[in-house]
Structure 1
């Protein structure tokens, strides 16, 4: 089968579209014929080597995390799926390879695709929505009446966080770039501020939770926006931010892995229309190298970028 892979850590020049043979399917895994794979910044960050302590130095390595497709085979320990099921899911950091014709994934990271969703829409869910769930439902404990501020509410994680917070009855305000203000406001964020207008979103507080999706809000500034029992939620794990945050006692660092166990709930919300992904570009898998390179180096189109496999 063909997949996007890289032979060493580095820039886009290390990628190639190569042949790969999957190993014998392990007992707890499922083999999926990929129909769509969504691109996440994590994909090229792994290729750049930011996670090399986890991904190691055995090459070539595959690229791609989030996918949707049709089950071809299940491991001997898998009872929840069978060949022909339409599913979506993600793969572990150590076993990337969703930008491929076929992918093997841990069955615990795969759920059935609602019939109401296209393969592209389903592929956009896992990492952004799981991250948002860990932040908004897990750390921020969104509930009716909560006041939540989301810094970067127009991106993939930010828009998922907005929808999850609203679905749990919270009041959401946030910041975004000037070009996104109208669309973010129409999504239910009120009020909406531009990134440069920090004084205004500070005066709109205090908040029960502040979720910084970008890492552009200092921990000190984020903590200053909170109620006495409020929570600053972060997904930007630099040593300085974590040290400053944990000293405060009102800081939470979250990762997508904490939300993967909630993929079924996320699928349900998507099926109900309460969780939607904006798709900015669908491109054929044959153009994957140039599409990933352009997404990495920018500028990127608004909305998610999805690779479509043959047959879509």
Structure 2
């Protein structure tokens, strides 16, 4: 089968190789999936650059790709709940990425069935952002009626997180560009702030929680609008010691991340607040639950340019440039 691989970590533009590789083996808990579409993410760039190697140390050559849609071809002896031909999608398990390929072997626990209303291209844009939103909301553990702020909520993350938060009965506010206001408000946002003209820190106070998608430079502003005891979940800030411990990392990594994340931990402690760094993991049952919510609301992710497998390098470069809206997709097969 054909697969898109890299041969090592390298900064700058991501250079890939299209190779013929062996078909993946199928363990007793695995499902062999024929890939139809795969989404390209900033995470793919971070992996290629080596920016997450302390979290997940990959071996080379490495087949790229973190989320996919495909059809079930074969199942391991202990797999139940799926049938050959089922259309499925997943965020690939951290240790077994590789969706930029004609086939993947994936733990059945990472898979969910694709809602019928989504096209393959749309469905490929769901798993990573939807699971990120659901897992962040689980960490926040807010109750119905609580207030939530999402920084930079006008992008693909906000398109998934906002409906999930609203489904939990949360009062959501967010920031973004003026051109996106109407679209984002339609998702259920109560307050939307144009980051170019409005300083949300002068308008908001005593919120119950926040999801940060911008990073360390924005975190002091986010903490300033939260009540005492509130929690921030960051997707772009520095990892900290509690994250390393929850990931089961060795003690030396726990101490390292405790050191690099100390600034944000100290910032949180000023008002008895909590700082959590989050790295999204695969979870099929969670993805299935999210899919039901999205189907009920008929939420459709915005799809950008669609490339072929042979054009994967161009797709990665577009994502690295980061200038266009809509999820970049690699179309691997029609059926």
TM-score with structure 2 length normalisation?
0.84
The Cα shift of 1:194 comes to 2.4
Counterpart in 2 of 1:147? 147
Q: Is 2:292 the partner of 1:268?
A: yes
Partners of 1:27 and 1:258 in 2: CA distance:
18
Counterpart in 2 of 1:310? 333
Counterpart in 1 of 2:104? 103
Counterpart in 2 of 1:67? 68
The Cα shift of 1:146 comes to 1.6
Counterpart in 2 of 1:58? 59
Asked if 2 retains the 8 angstrom alpha-carbon contact of 1:223 and 1:250, the reply is no
Distance 1:166 1:115, change over 3 A: same
Partners of 1:102 and 1:262 in 2: CA distance:
23
The Cα shift of 1:95 comes to 1.8
Asked if 2 retains the 8 angstrom alpha-carbon contact of 1:193 and 1:201, the reply is no
Q: Is 2:306 the partner of 1:286?
A: no
Number of equivalent positions = 310
Asked if 2 retains the 8 angstrom alpha-carbon contact of 1:33 and 1:101, the reply is yes
Q: Is 2:249 the partner of 1:225?
A: no
Aligned structure 1 segments of 4 or more residues deviating by more than 4 angstroms: 258-261
Counterpart in 1 of 2:35? 34
| Aligned residue runs from structure 1 range 1-312, under 5 A | 1-10=1-10, 11-53=12-54, 55-56=56-57, 58-136=59-137, 138-196=138-196, 199-215=199-215, 218-238=218-238, 239-240=260-261, 241-244=263-266, 247=269, 248-257=272-281, 261-273=285-297, 275-299=299-323, 301-311=324-334
Distance 1:227 1:179, change over 3 A: same
Q: CA RMSD in A?
A: 2.3
Structure 1 gaps of 5+ residues are none
Asked if 1 retains the 8 angstrom alpha-carbon contact of 2:265 and 2:274, the reply is no
What whole-Å deviation, never above 9, does each CA across 1:27-72 have from its counterpart, x for those lacking one?
Answer: 2111100111111111121111122245546321010011011011
Partners of 1:53 and 1:203 in 2: CA distance:
38
What whole-Å deviation, never above 9, does each CA across 1:142-189 have from its counterpart, x for those lacking one?
Answer: 443221111010122222111111112222111113332332233332
Asked if 2 retains the 8 angstrom alpha-carbon contact of 1:166 and 1:172, the reply is yes
Asked if 1 retains the 8 angstrom alpha-carbon contact of 2:93 and 2:281, the reply is no
Structure 2 gaps of 5+ residues are 239-259
Asked if 2 retains the 8 angstrom alpha-carbon contact of 1:131 and 1:258, the reply is no
Distance 1:12 1:26, change over 3 A: farther
Asked if 1 retains the 8 angstrom alpha-carbon contact of 2:212 and 2:219, the reply is no
TM-score with structure 1 length normalisation?
0.90
SS at match of 1:14: coil
**After the TM superposition, which of the residue ranges 98-107 and 55-64 deviates more from structure 2?**
55-64
Distance 1:58 1:260, change over 3 A: same
Partners of 1:52 and 1:106 in 2: CA distance:
22
Distance 1:262 1:213, change over 3 A: same
The Cα shift of 1:2 comes to 1.0
